Amino acid sequence: MSINVLFAAKAERWATYEPTLKQAFGELGLDVNLRTEIPPEDVDYIVYAPNSDLQDFIPFTRTKAVLGLWAGVEDVVGNQTLIQPFARMVDEGLTRGMVEWVTGHVLRHHLGMDIHILGQDGLWRDHVPPLATDRSVTILGLGALGQACAEALAFLGFTVTGWSRSAKEVPGVTCLSGNDRLAEALSGAEIVVLLLPSTPQTENTLNADTLALLAPGAVVINPGRGPLIDDEALLSAVNTGQVGHATLDVFRVEPLPPEHPYWSHPNVTVTPHIASETRPLSASRVIAENVRRGEAGEDFINLVDRKLGY
């Protein structure tokens, strides 16, 4: 009998994901009936984007797992009707995109590229940037994305420190963990990259106190989530020069309202939540692997811990 998989995401995603999901199920030899509408009581798995219309999971009585298409889960973990196992997306394509975005923005600031890109004015500015070994970068969050970025930056030679909740080991990276090591992770950092999930524990991780620990003129790069930063404290730090530049991809309110001071600040770069995204084929393979596991009675991968909120 076919496995009934409901695709619950915005309608425009269907055209992209229908062929890649079918390909991925086929690659694993799974006989799947993939639809955007199936009676809830007949659904075996749900492929899910948190901004879809589906918010009540109670009627899905035989559903074995809800398989998220997004890495961030803050809009889902609090849903009390979601009693089924819930897996988030850890996608090789998404990770590679994030590594490219983070290294690109780190290198922009490390090399001082703006001076030359914006300064084509006849002045011979012959300042040679330091080597990466002389630049300290701290990555907050050493999960799927933070770890990959830390490895890439360490490979380029940066002096990389990473910080996470539980202890980690990443080759070439100084790994610190727990709240009592945060100050150590941030002290003297010249570039900080935020790749934490948005949870009650991570809100305002960068605030007036923690921003003051950074090296004067430090760069803040946030592709994680808006609530990780106290916006007023950051604006104040950018105004005093304690933070030399902030590159922000994510915000408490998205799209960021046109009148928000971040847009007009000369030392803030706003990008519209494009750091990376789930790539359809590689993500579809992750979904298919979880369906295979569910059918084989194996443990699902990438399950969200609802108590931790990520």
Which residues in this chain contact ligand NDP in the complex, by CB under 6 A?
71-72, 90, 94, 141-146, 164-166, 168, 195-199, 201-202, 223-225, 249-250, 273, 275-277, 310
Q: What residue is closest to ligand NDP based on CB?
A: 143
Q: How many CA atoms lie within 13 A of 156 on its CB side?
A: 23
Name the strand (E) or helix (H) holding 222: strand 218-222
In the complex, what is the shortest distance from the CB of residue 158 to ligand NDP, in angstroms, rounded to a whole number?
Answer: 18
Q: How far is the CB of 34 from ligand NDP (least distance, A)?
A: 24
The answer to whether 225 is a known catalytic residue is: yes
3 state DSSP class of 285 = helix
- The per-residue b/e assignment along 30-51, b for 16 or more CB within 10 angstroms, e otherwise, is bebebeeebebeebbbbbbbbe
Which residue type sits at 288? A
Q: What is the CA radius of gyration of the chain?
A: 21
Helix, strand, coil percentages (3-state) for the chain, rounded to 5, are 35, 20, 45
Active site residues per annotation = 225, 273
